Structure 1
């Protein structure tokens, strides 16, 4: 059953996972916690996480779906989670090694 880690921010940017194509990882920090959690992202067609960019300007909010199976979409995600402190919301499956397999990623272009 997927779980959501609330109130998180980017701790380390998206990088390719070692020894694997179409798999990436980035780290998040939950509010009030000092240890980061590695988030595994699969960009393979049919197995990819759902990714949304959330833009907020004043009272207006725009949600844009990002297709990370394409080079442009993967670049958008990498740019979206490139800065430490960027607000993100991740849902997925926790693994026994302490990492998290993402099924849904929302990154925010302005403070939540």
Structure 2
């Protein structure tokens, strides 16, 4: 079992140089967690084994297909465009109201 990889499986954003340090003294004893700076209890041997087994049974990461990435990006752009169109429509409506108010005020002063 690789303790560091097991921990990273459970805490994927952890930094193995700051959040935890796994040490092996080279004297035949197993590796161990020398430092633990994650806001969670230090994992037990059983937890580490469970995480390691889950990691081993998880299929390898497959990058997304380029078409899927483009579709996602297009969808985000469409949403942003729709939001801008709605904002423009709202601003146009408000501007029309202000123009009407000005014309009404100007018409009332001329009488």
Which structure has the greater CA radius of gyration? 2
Fold-level similarity (TM above 0.5): no
Normalised to the residue count of structure 2, the TM-score between the two structures is: 0.23
Which structure is richer in relative contact order (CA contacts within 8 A, separation 6 or more)? Answer: 1
Normalised to the residue count of structure 1, the TM-score between the two structures is: 0.22
